[in-house]
């Protein structure tokens, strides 16, 4: 083993933490993810900063909470004053390269105000969220919103797949008995194979592009953000993954009678969404979830291919590998579909880190139950390169001490936080809320979870005794003191966001020095 020179930062979209073999799923096959966990450390309590693609990813890319970076939902840009992963890694001489999805949109009005040309080097850097885009594909291309420059569509046409949008017509659709296209946007077709050969489907294609980058990169240090759209919907898998699992291999829905009969008002509003109503039908779960599992196993197979390539090229000896997800997927649990709220199925994410440094040997194969956050990755990457951790701006903590030697640290965080803004959902209107009122905040400690909703009662779960979150104690007078304690801790966190642009050391140097600089106040 050697020291970390490169970083492979792998993100799957909408991959639940509990849908890995090493996480205890009873039927899914993820041997390569499991093998990576055996080589590194699996963090069993890792949390996304937001249960939605866009704000979650901005937190990964800035090292800051959603309340700090301000991008509260998909297609909401973050401001130009936010540093990104690419900005930080440049300081330590490392390229930051993208293959796959970011789901980011540039701050066009900010660039216009500052007279930044969108096609200039700086404009492109901003537009790609601080990454060099070796190939960017945000993964969702309905016929009403097709990117005419989509490289994957060009690839498919070159392979003989016809149509204006082969992504939809082939990669994410099935075929009917008379040759008709059955759109993957309709979950009823999830058990049918995609109209594309497996080797030409999205995940192998993007893996090939990651291999191409690594092959071309040479000796210059790099961080490759390899970001796959799957297993995110449309729930369509190519053969043989479409039939790899059956209804008898899915786990039962996690939903209590109370959640059906008397849900929390916000949860109840989301249960009224069309997707949630469908996922409460067992027919839908039995059709969709086996395909979701097949897509995960395809991702796992391609991970094995990528790791084999790194091993062949001798890159496992100097490349840190991080495997994670932006958030989970309800799949009918709690009577819900999609994401957006803050149950464990969505807020908790997989987090596996392989550190090639010899100091990490003693920690290989371990499971760490300490609370970690998505925003911890940038500090970890900087720490692995001996860089400045920018503690006045970055809100996460380096995980490097947890990866190496004994893994013991004198003090670690006792809580993690996540937040959501459901402004853009019908649930917000159903609740009679204005555009800036659909917000919720989560604090999770080792034993408890407390969720504050603007305008509604909180939720409280005793996770030590109720890990499935079926017993909401938010209105229980016997637990009022616990709710009050977590409420205060949550708002202490909100009050202490790191909003400064000046390092603490500089602030200390300037404190009380006004007289020395000739500014004399209050002297008689």
- In the β-sheet with 456-462, what is the strand arrangement from edge to edge? 416-421, 439-444, 448-453, 456-462
**524 assigned to some structural domain:** no
**391 assigned to some structural domain:** yes
The SS3 assignment for 230 reads: strand
Q: What is the per-residue pLDDT for 177?
A: 94
Q: 189: cis peptide before it, omega within 30°?
A: no
Query: Is the confidence at residue 269, as pLDDT, over 70?
Result: yes
Q: What is the per-residue pLDDT for 521?
A: 75
Angle subtended at Cα 492 by Cα 490 and Cα 496, rounded to the nearest 5 degrees = 120
Q: With bands split at pLDDT 50, 70 and 90, how would you rate the model's confidence at 458?
A: very high
pTM score: 0.95
Q: What is the per-residue pLDDT for 408?
A: 87
What share of the chain has pLDDT > 90, as a percent?
85
Q: What is the mean pLDDT of residues 399-418?
A: 93
Tokens of 53: 């693609």
Q: With bands split at pLDDT 50, 70 and 90, how would you rate the model's confidence at 501?
A: low
Residue with tokens 């809580």: 415
Give the CATH number, domain containing residue 173: 3.40.720.10
Q: What dihedral do alpha carbons 11, 77, 213, 122 form, nearest 10°?
A: -150
Average predicted confidence (pLDDT) for the chain: 94
CA–CA dist 257, 155 (Å, integer): 49
Q: What is the per-residue pLDDT for 505?
A: 74
Q: What is the per-residue pLDDT for 161?
A: 97
Q: 240: cis peptide before it, omega within 30°?
A: yes
- The 10s digit of each residue's pLDDT in 304-328 is 999 999 999 999 999 999 999 999 9
CA–CA dist 195, 170 (Å, integer): 4
Q: What is the per-residue pLDDT for 72?
A: 87
| Number of domains into which the chain is organized | 1
Query: Is the confidence at residue 461, as pLDDT, over 70?
Result: yes
Q: What is the per-residue pLDDT for 142?
A: 87
Under 8 Å between Cβ of 310 and 211? no
CA–CA dist 165, 318 (Å, integer): 40
- The 10s digit of each residue's pLDDT in 46-84 is 999 999 999 999 999 999 999 999 988 888 898 888 999
Backbone angles phi, psi at 103, to 5 degrees: 70, 20
- The 10s digit of each residue's pLDDT in 125-161 is 999 999 999 999 998 888 877 777 799 999 999 999 9
**204 assigned to some structural domain:** yes
Contacts of 166 (CB under 8 A, 6+ apart): 153, 156, 157
Q: What is the per-residue pLDDT for 1?
A: 58
Secondary element (H or E) of residue 223: strand 222-231
Tokens of 303: 């991970």
**1 assigned to some structural domain:** no
Q: What is the per-residue pLDDT for 39?
A: 97
Q: What is the per-residue pLDDT for 2?
A: 67
CA separation, residue 495 to residues 15, 49, 162, 490 (Å)? 32, 17, 55, 9
Q: Helix and strand tally (H, E) in the chain? A: 19, 15
Q: With bands split at pLDDT 50, 70 and 90, how would you rate the model's confidence at 329?
A: very high
Under 8 Å between Cβ of 28 and 20? yes
Query: Is the confidence at residue 500, as pLDDT, over 70?
Result: no
Secondary element (H or E) of residue 298: helix 282-312
- Give the DSSP per-residue string, 428-445: HHHTT--TTT-EEEEEE-
**373 assigned to some structural domain:** yes
Secondary element (H or E) of residue 36: helix 31-39
Contacts of 327 (CB under 8 A, 6+ apart): 14, 48, 50, 51, 52, 53, 56, 339, 346, 347, 349
**523 assigned to some structural domain:** no
CA–CA dist 426, 467 (Å, integer): 29
Residue with tokens 């390092």: 503
Tokens of 257: 């009678």
Query: Who wins on pLDDT, 107 or 48?
Result: 48
Ranges of beta strands (E only) in 307-405 are 319-325, 348-349, 351-354, 366-373
Contacts of 518 (CB under 8 A, 6+ apart): none
Angle subtended at Cα 16 by Cα 100 and Cα 451, rounded to the nearest 5 degrees = 115
**276 assigned to some structural domain:** yes
How is residue 257 annotated by DSSP?
H
Tokens of 411: 């003090």
- The 10s digit of each residue's pLDDT in 357-404 is 999 999 999 999 999 999 999 999 999 999 999 999 999 999 999 999
Q: What is the mean pLDDT of residues 325-350?
A: 98
CA–CA dist 55, 104 (Å, integer): 9
Q: What is the per-residue pLDDT for 522?
A: 77
Under 8 Å between Cβ of 13 and 232? yes
- Show the domain range for 458: 6-517
- The 10s digit of each residue's pLDDT in 277-307 is 999 999 999 999 999 999 999 999 999 999 9
**223 assigned to some structural domain:** yes
């Amino acid at each position: 083993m050697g020291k970390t020179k490169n970083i492979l930062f792998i993100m799957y979209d909408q991959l639940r933490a509990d849908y890995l073999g090493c996480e205890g799923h009873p039927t899914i096959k993820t041997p390569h993810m499991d093998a990576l966990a055996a080589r590194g450390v699996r963090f069993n309590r890792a949390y996304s900063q937001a249960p939605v693609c866009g704000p979650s990813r901005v937190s990964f890319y800035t090292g800051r909470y959603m309340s700090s970076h301000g991008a509260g939902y998909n297609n909401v840009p973050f401001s130009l004053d936010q540093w990104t992963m690419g900005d930080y890694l440049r300081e330590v001489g490392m390229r930051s390269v993208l293959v796959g999805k970011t789901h980011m949109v540039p701050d066009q009005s900010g660039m216009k105000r500052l007279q930044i040309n969108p096609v200039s080097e700086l404009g492109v850097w901003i537009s790609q969220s601080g990454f060099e885009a070796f190939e960017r594909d945000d993964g969702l291309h309905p016929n009403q919103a097709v990117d005419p420059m989509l490289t994957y569509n060009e690839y498919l046409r070159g392979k003989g797949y016809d149509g204006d949008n082969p992504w939809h017509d082939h990669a994410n659709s099935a075929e009917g008995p008379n040759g008709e296209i059955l759109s993957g946007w309709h979950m009823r077709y999830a058990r049918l194979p995609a109209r594309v050969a497996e080797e030409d489907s999205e995940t192998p294609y993007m893996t090939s592009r990651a291999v191409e980058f690594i092959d071309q990169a040479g000796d210059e240090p790099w961080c490759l953000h390899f970001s796959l759209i799957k297993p995110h919907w449309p729930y369509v898998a190519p053969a043989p993954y479409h039939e790899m699992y059956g209804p008898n291999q899915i786990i039962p829905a996690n939903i209590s009678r109370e959640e059906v009969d008397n849900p929390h008002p916000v949860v109840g509003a989301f249960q009224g969404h069309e997707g949630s109503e469908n996922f409460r039908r067992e027919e839908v779960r039995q059709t969709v979830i086996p395909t979701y599992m097949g897509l995960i196993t395809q991702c796992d197979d391609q991970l094995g291919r990528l790791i084999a390539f790194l091993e062949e090229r001798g890159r496992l000896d100097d490349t840190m590998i991080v495997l994670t997800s932006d958030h989970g997927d309800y799949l009918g649990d709690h009577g819900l579909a999609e994401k957006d709220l803050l149950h464990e199925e969505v807020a908790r994410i997989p987090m596996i880190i392989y550190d090639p440094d010899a100091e990490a040997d003693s920690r290989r194969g371990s499971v760490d139950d300490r609370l970690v956050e998505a925003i911890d990755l940038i500090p970890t990457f900087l720490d692995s390169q001996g860089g400045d951790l920018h503690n006045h701006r970055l809100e996460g903590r380096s995980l490097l001490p947890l990866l190496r030697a004994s893994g013991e640290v004198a003090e670690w965080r006792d809580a993690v936080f996540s937040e959501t803004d459901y402004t853009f959902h019908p649930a917000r209107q159903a609740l009679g809320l204005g555009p800036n009122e659909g917000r919720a905040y989560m604090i999770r400690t080792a034993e408890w979870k407390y969720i504050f909703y603007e305008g509604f009662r909180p939720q409280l779960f005793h996770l030590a005794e109720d890990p499935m979150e079926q017993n909401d104690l938010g209105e229980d007078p016997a637990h009022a003191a616990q709710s009050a304690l977590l409420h205060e801790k949550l708002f202490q966190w909100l009050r202490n966001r790191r909003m400064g642009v000046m390092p603490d050391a500089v602030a200390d140097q300037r404190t009380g020095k006004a007289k020395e600089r000739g500014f004399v106040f209050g002297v008689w």
